Amino acid sequence: MTRLGPTTPELFRDDARPYFLFWTDATVADLRAHLASTDPAERAYWLGALLREANSRDVWLFVTPSEIRRDWEGVVRHLGRSRSMWAYLLGLPEPTWPPVEARGA
């Protein structure tokens, strides 16, 4: 299977500002550092931003499906309308949102 290339070659430059992080001054290098953080909440926030805002073909420049699955429980809250799509693509159960335990009676 042939994989599509990135939407822009800028994503190969550590000093470039990714188009999908439009609300921050983070660079490609910053994003990679956040995604490699030992803090699960930090990783989840930035992974959620990547999955929610980037073209899906650009996601694979930064993470693997197994990394997304590893952090899924923390990431799902950051995905907005893309929750179902990513669950489907990764072969995960449809997420219930908000979680049952967070719903008011």
Domain ranges of the chain: 9-92
Which one-letter DSSP state was computed for residue 2?
P
pTM of the complete model beyond 0.75: yes
Q: What is the reported pLDDT for 96?
A: 84
Average pLDDT over residues 83-93: 96
Q: What is the reported pLDDT for 1?
A: 63
Segment 9-52, tens digit of pLDDT: 999 999 999 999 999 999 999 999 999 999 999 999 999 999 99
Q: What is the reported pLDDT for 105?
A: 59
Q: b/e map of 62-71 (b: 16 or more CB within 10 Å)?
A: bbeeeebeeb
